[in-house]
Amino acid sequence: MEISIAKMEQTFIMIKPDGVQRNLVGEIIGRFEKKGFTLKGLKLTSVDSAFAKKHYADLSAQPFFNKLVEYIVSGPVVAMVWEGRNVVATGRKMIGTTNPSESAPGTIRGDYAIDMGRNVIHGSDAVESAKKEIALWFPQGIAEWKSSAHHWIFE
> Quick check: 68 binds ligand UDP (CB under 6 A)?
yes
Residue closest to ligand UDP (Cβ) = 98
- Give 1 or 75: the residue with its C-beta nearer to ligand UDP: 75
Instruction: Return d(Cα 74, Cα 110) in angstroms, integer.
Output: 22
Q: Is 151 a known active-site residue? A: no
Binding-site positions for ATP read 16, 64, 92, 98, 109, 119
- Give 56 or 154: the residue with its C-beta nearer to Mg ion: 56
- Give 13 or 78: the residue with its C-beta nearer to Mg ion: 13
Residue from 55, 122, 150, 151 carrying the catalytic annotation? 122
Shortest Å, Cβ 129 to ligand UDP: 9
Number of residues that bind Mg ion (CB under 5 A): 1
> Quick check: 116 binds ligand UDP (CB under 6 A)?
yes
CB atoms near residue 70 (< 10 Å)? 12
Shortest Å, Cβ 38 to ligand UDP: 22
Interface of this chain with ligand UDP, residues 26 to 65, rule: CB under 6 A: 59, 64
Instruction: Return d(Cα 45, Cα 51) in angstroms, integer.
Output: 12
Binding-site positions read 16, 64, 92, 98, 109, 119
Do the Cβ atoms of 100 and 113 come closer than 8 Å?
Answer: yes
Residues identified as active-site: 122
Binding site for ligand UDP (CB under 6 A): 59, 64, 68, 98, 116-117, 119, 122, 125
